[in-house]
Structure 1
Amino acid sequence: MTARILVVDDNQLNLDLLNARLTMEYYEVATALDGHQALEALARESFDIVLLDIMMPGIDGFEVCRRIKADPGTMDIPVVMVTALDQMEDRVRGLQAGADDFLTKPVNELQLLARVKSLTRLKMLTDELRLRAHTTRDIAIEELLRRHGTKPEARAEVLLIDERASVFERYSGILRGVANLHHVRDPQEGVLAAAEGGFECVIVSADFATFDPLRVIAQLRSLDRTRFLPIILSSDTENDTLIARALELGVNDFVVRPVDANEFVARLRTQVRRKAYHDGLRSNVAESIELAVTDGLTGLHNRRYLDTHLQSLVDRARKRGRPLSLLITDIDHFKAVNDTHGHDGGDEVLREFGRRLRGQVRGLDLVCRFGGEEFVIVMPDTSAVMAAEIAERLRLDVAETPFAVGADRSKIAVTASLGVATLDPSSAEDGAALIKKADLALYEAKNGGRNKVIAKAA
């Protein structure tokens, strides 16, 4: 996973140090020596993350951050303030200006890379939601952007998963008047509560006596209902290795106790506002495209939406120099399913097949019913090797678990063939050419005996 990062600092040595560290991890880095240069660069080019110094001549980092977050064109870019300031009021001031996180000089390399990876995933998700909204032109996206951040903040519903009553009492005092804090002591019960309740954020302890906190995070990120729920990791100690791993698994933020009350409230509000914004984008997209571009049987996007949206994804991948893969899958001998179990049975298989596809891929991947028993998955930022592995995982999921049909829920065996293609960065192929390449691979899989994956890397 790569990204374009703008590093802003009036000290050339600091710029060179961060540039070198990030370039070694294959990030594309641009630099600016002051706030004016940074804002000019943001107006000219697109970036995925801004690493921003606070103490600079002219416009300080707080003001630069405020301007970034006030501009609809840049408001979604995560901003990490990199500063030598260690006063709590400066952190609170930065969060109130819209900063997404902080790094303290000298920068800890592990924390730097973990935060960059975490925020890159966030930016990719936001970009995908906005791009889908752009595809459906009738969405009033600008109105949604204008509303973002201006709605009065209601009391948030927050879940704390922690074994200790003392932690709950401490956080309850901090969040009094800000959030309704709910407490579950058992980690497994906490995951279930998060999935069942309408929470806007969940705080997960890093200090369970006999349970791995990373397991809780992984479970929350694997469930549809909690996949996008903000998670704050709460730790007694600053364990860099644990925090870095948690960020990689999808934690949105972390705090180390004892935590400053004002900073904790500011961080929580940042996560709640971000969730409301993303929920609004998803809601607008869903309402606008449901009838026009959704397959009525499976609930997936239909071919009309794919035909409109695929080229946008191809263009974006080329512009950013990122990989893009696509797979086409076809249910083997589907006519026999209809002949044996009727069209109602065939429809049940199609619905379950679509559900399994959706459950095996990321939220930013595009899953469509292409027509009949054919389905397409478009996977941004996915290499040929990764796409082939995903296709094989999908094939196994279909082949190894029977499908239930009819009133008696009788089990039938189903297999699928899959063709995979990856965008060739050296060619001028468009979305239609990419589909054709994947379709040829699918044809090979069918002719080669079915129930297999054939991949065309270029």
Structure 2
Amino acid sequence: EVSQMKKIIQEKQQKDSKRIETLSKEVVSLKSNLEEVQAAANSDALTGAYNRMAFDTKIQWCVERNAVIREPLSLLMCDIDDFKKINDTYGHITGDRVLKGFVLECKGFFRSDDFIARYGGEEFAILLPGMPLKKAIKRAKELCVALAAKQYLIDANRPDQKLQFTVSIGVSELRKDDTVDSFIGRADQALYRAKHSGKNQAVSEKES
């Protein structure tokens, strides 16, 4: 009778163990699916950068945090030069490749904790945590040079046909009493100056 009881207990323990293992796998799977859904909700479908909604949430958090913890944070507002002309000349498929190419270059150029987002159309916003204005403008100028030196395939079947594009960038640094609008506004003003004084350049808020 005792041995029979032990056998019943062992069988129950084995069943419970298998059930726990199955539940653990289901939890891991659900967590993975949730992370994929969250990533998709925060990503721009075309380029793989963060989308505007994710950027708005991130920059709001940064500004609110800035009221409590002061540390450098710079913003790059980037606009691909003559993008309409690229679309009109080569077509929207090529235009899409340019947008994806820009994000791909940025992901290789910036640090893993820098925040690259598609702000709208051919405009992108990049948050650089821990980076003061002087270093941010230096990086922005280096990005302009790097992009201008690249050539991109227009058609995979035409390796001889390549395209170059440039970018204009406005740079601002978060100030103590900034709002989201004032922080973005100074970068936008600097971008406007970059676009209207020759393009293919980075301009600091202090220059605009």
Q: Give the letter for the 2:60 counterpart.
A: Q
TM-score, normalisation: structure 2: 0.78
368 and 319 in structure 1: CA distance in 2 versus 1, 3 angstrom threshold: same
Residue 304 of structure 1: CA displacement? 0.9
Residue 286 of structure 1: CA displacement? 4.7
Residue number among 74, 77, 82 corresponding to 1:328 in the alignment = 77
Unpaired runs of at least 5, structure 1: 1-282
Q: Which residue of 1 aligns with 2:170?
A: 419
Q: Per-residue displacement from partner, 1:216-272 (whole Å, max 9, x unpaired)?
A: xxxxxxxxxxxxxxxxxxxxxxxxxxxxxxxxxxxxxxxxxxxxxxxxxxxxxxxxx
Give distance in 2, aligned partners of 1:318 and 1:383: 17
Question: Percent same amino acid among aligned pairs?
Answer: 39
Contact 1:367 1:375 in 2 (8 A): yes
Give distance in 1, aligned partners of 2:127 and 2:180: 10
* Partner-residue secondary structure (3-state), 1:359: helix
Higher helix share: 2
Q: Which residue of 1 aligns with 2:132?
A: 383
Give distance in 1, aligned partners of 2:132 and 2:33: 30
Residue 339 of structure 1: CA displacement? 1.1
Unpaired runs of at least 5, structure 2: 1-31
* Partner-residue secondary structure (3-state), 1:320: coil
Contact 1:314 1:324 in 2 (8 A): no
Q: Which residue of 2 aligns with 1:311?
A: 60
Q: Which residue of 1 aligns with 2:96?
A: 347
Residue 451 of structure 1: CA displacement? 0.6
Residue 431 of structure 1: CA displacement? 1.9
Give distance in 2, aligned partners of 1:430 and 1:399: 33
TM-score, normalisation: structure 1: 0.37
* Partner-residue secondary structure (3-state), 2:68: helix
**Number of aligned residues:** 174
Residue 413 of structure 1: CA displacement? 1.6
Segments of 4+ moved more than 6 angstroms? none
389 and 290 in structure 1: CA distance in 2 versus 1, 3 angstrom threshold: same
Give distance in 1, aligned partners of 2:84 and 2:142: 24
Q: Per-residue displacement from partner, 1:113-164 (whole Å, max 9, x unpaired)?
A: xxxxxxxxxxxxxxxxxxxxxxxxxxxxxxxxxxxxxxxxxxxxxxxxxxxx
457 and 317 in structure 1: CA distance in 2 versus 1, 3 angstrom threshold: farther
Q: Which residue of 1 aligns with 2:195?
A: 446
Aligned runs of 1:187-226 on 2, under 5 Å?
Answer: none
- Kindly report the root-mean-square deviation, in angstroms, between the aligned alpha carbons of the 2 structures: 1.8
More contact order relative to length (CA 8 Å, sep ≥ 6) = 2
Q: Give the letter for the 1:369 counterpart.
A: R
